[in-house]
Structure 1
Amino acid sequence: MVSYPDSQGAERSLAIRRPPSVTSHSSRASTVRRHRPHRSHFGGSSYQPQNEFPVFTHTGDVEIIISNGRKEQRYLLHKLILTQCSGFFSAGTSDEWANAGEGNSVNPNALARIPSGSAPEKKMWRYELDWGNNDEELPMLIQKKAQSTIFGSGDVAPPPQPPSARNKPSAPQSGFFRSMANFSSLHVPATQSDPDDDLFRDYDNMFRVFYNYPPTLDPINIANAYVECKSLLQLADMYDALEVIGPRVDHHLLRFQGRLWKQIAKYPPSYLKLGYMARSKAIFQEAMVHVVGQWPQGANQLRGQTSDGVIDLIEDKVDELDEMKAKIEGKLFRITLTTSRGERVTPSNNWLDWLAMSLFRQWLAENTTPPPAPILKSPRPPNSRNGGDNSPLPPPPAFNTGRVFRLLGTGGSSYLNHDECKRFLRLSPDQYNRENLKRFERRIDEIKERAKDVVKPVMRNFLELDLGRDGGGLPYLTSTRLELQDFPWDEGV
């Protein structure tokens, strides 16, 4: 405490403020807001430099400029926070990087201006967004030469002038907005949309997450939220920050609950890639169950677009499911009925029961075997005779037996119902009558019950999506399960 007499001889005590802390800027800002004294506008300006996100005037040492020539976002952040959250900034602000080039060098003239005995210099870094020469390339932050400041003085280099609009072509406008775009103002009017707004949003969200602020993602429309989360993850991947950004994206999407599971069922390959980038076990597993059940339907959307470890995991789970289905099919074909004396039913000891077994096996064979290839060639397109396109027709969709197993697991009248049994028995007029039809249907129901027990291992559902009793109408199996050791990012893939 420092004491000095006032004009009346009384003493007033002044608390010496400590330099603001990087880790406690939020609590300090809230305290200032609660106990802010009355500011007088007489005798000078009452403006106080900002020292909170996104500009930490007193403590920030990394300046980041996001600009496209029409508008600009400026950040003054902390090396400590950036290096903890991003491998890109950890490498860029390291001593090894500084010694490798002149991008991080300190202005030598600044050292001559420092009086003897003054505070040491504060090292500063500066990054600007480089749009490159190719419109297909994603713009990347590059390090620029930054001026150093006297540590503890709070003086930083003044904000740079807005970059020229030629850094990136301005958006096509008309009338008043076309003329205003040439002024390179710092902020675009609220009524004017900028084609790079999504990029500005992504960078802002990434830095917000670094400082433990919630990102600004759509909380209502899950389709918009998916696009925003995917874009943010791609940016985080560029800056080696997925470990920090991923959990935030996972938390935001899981808030949609039932709507999320329905959306994953519509677009499983897309959400599988997103779940892998976000390291979200819930989203990745939900999408994996759909992808394996439909494979190879989503192969074109995943091969070459995701990690090889993910593809290997899919193929391993598909092989496991196919092996299980093959074993179950063998058991289904071996289902038999017995006579009242415990003997196996044969054509010689019970013709009617043997017909019931034959009908079931014929139905099973037809529905678990891919249809034969057509003998006749596919008809040529009408324009092929006149030198048109002679490219072959696309291959038929992959044969999936999931629907058949679901019917077997449901039982009842879902297959081989009363009408089918009646139509089949009429093919043998000497066997067709009301009493034989009832007995025939009872034996078919007995076979169905045995089949239902056989297919139980593949009827398990590991989806969060509520399928209901009939499987929700899905034409594939959802019995794929991921163990903790199956998640590819846990193995460093």
Structure 2
Amino acid sequence: MVSYPDSQGAERSLAIRRPPSVASHSSRTSTVRRHRPHRSHFGGSSYQPQNEFPVFTHTGDVEIRIANGRKEQRYLLHKLILTQCSGFFEAGTSDEWASAGEGSNAQSQNAAALARMPPSAAQAVQQKKRWRYELDWGQNDDEIPMLVQKKTTPTIFGGDASSQQQPPPPTNKPRAPSSGFFRSMANFSSLHVPATEQDPDDDTFRDYDNLFRVFYNYPPTLDPINIANAYVECKSLLHLADMYDALEVIGPRVDHHLLRFQGRLWKQIAKYPPSYLKLGYLARSKAIFAEAMVHVVGQWPQGQNQLRGQTPDSVIDLIEDKVDEMDEMKAKIEGKLFRLTLTTSRGERVTPSNNWLDWMAMSLFRQWLAENTTPPPIPILKSPRHPPSRHGAPETLPPAPPPIFNTGRIFRLLGQGGSAYLGHDECKRFLRLSPEHYSRENLKRFERSMEEIKNKAKDVVKPLMRHFLECDLWGLGGGLPYLTCTRVEPQDFPWDE
């Protein structure tokens, strides 16, 4: 949390000097409380209160101008606040930056003039220095809009050299991009955000306004009702904060806003886990990152195309480590499942010689388990061919990638037991393959043996049935087709390394 300095000349109450005729009849100075108008928001009234966000007339020393030829938003903020919140402004307003580039001759001349002045006067002149930034929209749609510093130098007459020059004429911004940086990174299309009839640059104005509002401890203007819109706005704000090295300040605000959606947030994460994993990483949100990580690991490698190259290697390494841990656990449990057996009344293991019917039930269970936990064999087929080309030779199509094989659904069925798998009809159909053993009494015995095996299997897979989600699994339509037993430990978060 940061706070902006109070102006020395702007207090909560101001003394009103009475005329001499009135002052002679009253020895007490009356005071009135200064009227504080509502905080201004961008796109609102053109009236700007003095020494209030976004224009601190008396104390501001960093001027920021954002304009696109159709509208303009101006800020006069404090170097102290900006440098505390943003590495970009800390570097841009440093002495090393100021001494390089344009204006070095003027700075040397002013330095010589300041050296001849009394110390108190020289200090007063130096305190009047200002920095000025303008948003450069770029020359084409592929360039990212970025604040560019305009060189200013303090003069011995007060103010800065740039203020004595004529302001540059407003230039028309290039045609608004149809798919800019923020829109592509936020993956708008996947969230079904309705299009609005407004200036397409409003998103940029909003993001910069939210950035500076958070710097001054004002709440950002983010959608509090529609979580899909809130995601888009938060993702765009985070990418802007990442550009200006301000994630440590912006991240907690985004985290706080999204967590207010509670149950709706967890359901959205279940729908778009890779997107929210990236957002949780940028916002340094342990709750969002961990929730998305459980879904991503359970579905892996389904979301790898959305994450590789778009997230740091530390995040990918964490995912792969968690996937390896889950695969190792599944392999151990599969071995236990294949070794499940029934015993006779004398405590002996069931074999074809001592209990044929129970041995048949065990064989059916193992066959079902093997078929459903082993990837299907690749069919040996010739590659399909295109019609002959102009040269007469048919073109061979590349083979389609095999479907993603995920055994999470099978282990969930084993965890449910009962009629979730190998139900009455399947048992009856299997037993009829041996007509000499099929009867109503044998079918009942067979189903009781199968139920006993299912109960043992249910106990074996309990470690895989744990879930570390905030979301209610049954609130997602009866559960998920993948495992959610991944646990993100406190030391796993990649930004704490």
What is the TM-score of this pair, normalised by structure 1?
0.82
Instruction: Output one character per residue of 1:431-469: Cα deviation in whole Å (capped at 9) or x when no partner.
Output: 111111111100100000000000000100111111129
Q: Does 1:221 align with 2:226?
A: yes
Deviation at 1:7, TM superposition (A): 2.6
Tell me by how many angstroms 1:131 deviates: 2.4
Q: Distance in 2 between matches of 1:264 and 1:146?
A: 47
CA offset at residue 263 of structure 1?
A: 1.1
Shift of 1:287: 0.8
- Which residue of 2 is the match for residue 273 of structure 1? 278
Q: Structure 2 matches for 1:80-479, cutoff 5 A?
A: 80-102=80-102, 120-121=124-125, 122-146=128-152, 148=154, 157=163, 161=167, 163-166=169-172, 168-170=173-175, 193-381=198-386, 390-468=396-474, 472-479=478-485
Letter matched to residue 79 of structure 1: K
For 2:243 and 2:309, locate their aligned partners in 1 and report how far apart those are by CA, in whole Å. 18
Partners of 2:139 and 2:174 within 8 A in 1: no
Scaled by the length of structure 2, the TM-score of the pair is: 0.82
The alpha-carbon deviation at position 234 of structure 1 amounts to: 0.6
- CA deviations over 1:262-302 (Å, ceiling 9, x no partner): 11111111111111001011111111111101111111111
Aligned to 2:42: none
The question of whether the paired residues in 2 share the 8 Å contact of 1:269 and 1:287 is answered with: yes
- Residue 30 of structure 2 corresponds to residue 32 of structure 1: no
SS of the residue corresponding to residue 468 of structure 1 reads helix
| Cα separation, 1, equivalents of 2:412 and 2:372 | 12
Contact 1:69 1:170 (C-alpha < 8 Å) held by counterparts: no
How far is 1:98 from its partner? Answer: 1.7
Match of 2:488 among 456, 478, 482: 482
Q: Cα offset for 1:6?
A: 2.4
* Distance in structure 2 (CA, Å) of the matches to 1:397 and 1:374: 13
| 2:79 corresponds to | 79
* Equivalent residue, structure 2, for 1:22: none
The 2-side partners of 1:32 and 1:361 are apart by: 83
Aligned equivalents of 2:313, 2:168: Cα separation in 1:
43
- Structure 2 residue runs of 5 or longer lacking an equivalent are 1-14, 38-46, 178-195
For residues 120-164 of structure 1, the C-alpha deviation after alignment (integer angstroms, 9 at most, x for no partner) is 1222111111223343121111111235489999xx959985753
Residue 212 to residue 228, structure 1, CA distance change in 2 (3 Å): same
Q: Which amino acid aligns with 2:271?
A: K
Deviation at 1:368, TM superposition (A): 0.3
State the identity %: 77
Distance 1:479 1:78 in 2: 49
> What's the secondary structure of 2:474's corresponding residue?
coil
SS of the equivalent of 1:63 reads strand
Greater CA deviation, 133-142 or 364-373? Answer: 133-142
* One-letter amino acid of the counterpart of residue 355, structure 1: M
For 1:469 and 1:110, the matched residues in 2 are separated by: 69
Change (3 A) 1:111 1:218: farther
Supply the AA of the counterpart residue of 1:7: S
Q: Is the 2:222–2:234 contact (alpha carbons within 8 Å) kept by the matching residues of 1?
A: yes
Of stretches 421-430 and 133-142 in structure 1, the one that deviates more from structure 2 is: 133-142
SS of structure 2 residue aligned to 1:472: coil
The answer to whether the 8 A contact 1:58-1:152 is kept is no
What 5-or-longer segments of structure 1 have no aligned partner? 18-30, 36-46, 173-190
Contact 1:4 1:12 in 2 (8 A): no
RMSD over aligned CA atoms reads 3.4
Match of 2:59 in 1: 59
* Secondary structure at 2:341 match in 1: coil
Say which SS state the counterpart of residue 472 (structure 2) adopts.
Answer: coil
Count of equivalent residues: 447
Asked whether the equivalents of residues 406 and 471 of structure 1 are also in contact (C-alpha less than 8 Å), the reply is no
Between the aligned partners of 1:3 and 1:76, the Cα distance in structure 2 is 30
Which amino acid in the other structure matches residue 128 of structure 1? E
Letter in 2 for 1:485: Q
> What amino acid sits opposite 1:6 in the alignment?
P
